Structure 1
């Protein structure tokens, strides 16, 4: 099997495995007992989403300015932040009960719109991000440019709505 076929295989595996693992951990009938420190993770996740959005915007600005090294550095930062986010998110939701949105007015519809669109697009953006990075790392710049036209706005939306969801739900966290 060629290196490219192996990479595409692993991109497909990760694109399926990541959402499945998250869904399984979210649905655990008994939460893991990791201590009270996990109740700080939503705040960390909010910061990570904010930093990811800033990194993506800066990467976009730098590529437009033809500052490719800075573009790569900020995209790499966004990618690493995404991995750290995923670890924090899974850890929190595997060990803490979900927090219900505390308002019963029109804002709950806004909250659920952002939450659901955030979740659905976050699932779809995983393979796009992996492909975009694969193409960039393998100097397949034409393919990279084609996919990032869609990947960048979706990933940015997911990051920003993650912050919005956090800000809307944070007053209702128990700890």
Structure 2
């Protein structure tokens, strides 16, 4: 017999499905180019800004909880989650209407860029279940478990948000307009 509540079982199923479907869907959608749709070349600075805002929200969220403001902490994290979803939708829309931009830097900067890009991509996949499980633990009132997983989730999510901005800043000069 399982000690899991029906809500927790449902959350876990949902999180597992979402954590598998999102990376597969993003990879599949990258291969699809929408014909007769104008390139959405205005999106990269918008979704980079959303990544930056997500990082700010995450830092503000930590400050709020350290000051004992659980309600503000929850609101900030919920907003960060919505921003991450908006980022994902815009990122996929951009790549479905535009050719990928190649980084044009040479030498050491090229290796730095690809290191940041690859770690950003890999951790953006890894962080999905961490974010969702952390959020689930809070929603279910399981605060000791929430705190425990949040200690892993926070730095991963913050890294993904910040490196998303860095990748944009580094590749922005090479976008074709």
* Structure-2 residue corresponding to 1:45: 47
* Structure-2 residue corresponding to 1:141: 143
Task: Write the mapping of 1:56-95 to structure 2, written as runs, cut at 5 A.
Answer: 56-95=58-97
How far 1:3 sits from its partner (Å)? Answer: 2.6
Structure 1 gaps of 5+ residues are: none
Task: Write the mapping of 1:1-175 to structure 2, written as runs, cut at 5 A.
Answer: 2-28=6-32, 31-33=33-35, 34-36=37-39, 38-175=40-177
Structure 2 Cα separation of the partners of residues 32 and 47 of structure 1: 25
Structure 2 gaps of 5+ residues are: none
Structure 1 Cα separation of the partners of residues 73 and 8 of structure 2: 24
Query: C-alpha offsets along residues 61-110 of structure 1, whole Å, 9 cap, x if unaligned?
Result: 11111111111111111011011001001111111111000112211101
Structure 2 Cα separation of the partners of residues 169 and 5 of structure 1: 42
TM-score between both structures, scaled by the size of structure 2: 0.94
Structure 2 Cα separation of the partners of residues 77 and 3 of structure 1: 22
Structure 1 Cα separation of the partners of residues 76 and 6 of structure 2: 30
CA-atom RMSD, angstroms?
Answer: 1.1
The 3-state SS of whatever aligns with 1:35 is coil
Structure 1 Cα separation of the partners of residues 106 and 58 of structure 2: 34
Runs of 4+ in 1 over 6 A off after TM superposition: none
The 3-state SS of whatever aligns with 2:132 is helix
How far 1:125 sits from its partner (Å)? Answer: 0.2
